[in-house]
Amino acid sequence: MKQPSLFPERQQLAVLSASRRTDLVGCYPAFLLERLREHPPPQVHSIIIWTKNPRNMLLPGELRTALERYSQLYVQLTVTGLGGTAMEPRIPAWKTVQDMVPALIDLVQGPQRVCWRFDPILRCETPAGSLDNIGLFAEIAGRMAAAGITACTTSWVEPYRKVLGRLKKKDIRLMPHTDEERAEQALLLKKTAASLGMSLQYCCVAGRSASACIDGALLNRLHPGGCLCSTARAKGQRRLCRCTESIDIGWYSQKCAHGCLYCYAEPLV
């Protein structure tokens, strides 16, 4: 007769992704609150929040109160330096978002639970002139590092057909970087990040090491209660994606109000 284990495996809890598909915090806070009610805190290991504007989760109110009940929040905070430009017309200026970072760190209980996304890197010609954000990396990185954030994820913009069609309607011409330019920029990013004690990873970029934006092993190490989530690779993601399993609680049909012209998740041209 098989004897019961003296050390039974701990039950794996769910990881919620809110959301790769649309900025729920920035655009659909009431919907996010509704979806959270379907996934009560005892069933959830971590909530991964993807946002360009965390203001709604920082303000006193139902959403913040609900989020505070969960054991672990991890934020993917996108700050590209393009807020308020033609490419990100309804995103606050990056310094405005940067000013929210201390409160965000306080909410998630530590800078180790915030990853700064400098994503995407792009340049383009608009009717108002040229846009190129690579030159802002060092300044934004310095401020993030000063706040204690030590993780950065980046990639270059992808010229999807619907993105190019969207840009054409606005009389904007995307100017992709050459392989040589990318190599030079990658070296610059690496040196800058290293000088600040910041790790740098790429999100689904050919020729760069694969990485996981949702990293079950990391979430397990950070979990304040020592609870476990899955570390199995998620199905249905891009070939170079190494994200682990999660439940995404947003929908592509929820049109993001930010209006970022390069967004691949936006369903309409």
Q: Span 104-113, mean pLDDT?
A: 98
Annotated domain spans of the chain: 12-248
- Tokens of residue 119, six digits: 């994503």
- Residue 221's pLDDT band, with cuts at 50, 70 and 90, is very high
Q: Span 78-106, mean pLDDT?
A: 98
What is the reported pLDDT for 1?
Answer: 40
What is the reported pLDDT for 238?
Answer: 83
Question: Which residues have CB under 8 Å from 37's CB, separation 6+?
Answer: 66
- Residue 26's pLDDT band, with cuts at 50, 70 and 90, is very high
Distance CA 264, CA 156 (A): 12
pLDDT of residue 5 exceeding 50, the answer is no
Q: Span 242-262, mean pLDDT?
A: 93
Q: pLDDT for 152-181, tens place per residue?
A: 999 999 998 999 999 999 999 999 999 999
pLDDT of residue 265 exceeding 90, the answer is no
Fold of 12-248: pyruvate-formate lyase- activating enzyme (3.80.30)
Q: pLDDT for 43-61, tens place per residue?
A: 999 999 999 999 999 999 9
Peptide bond into 4 cis (omega under 30): no
pLDDT of residue 137 exceeding 50, the answer is yes
Mean pLDDT of the chain: 93
What is the reported pLDDT for 255?
Answer: 87
What is the reported pLDDT for 7?
Answer: 36
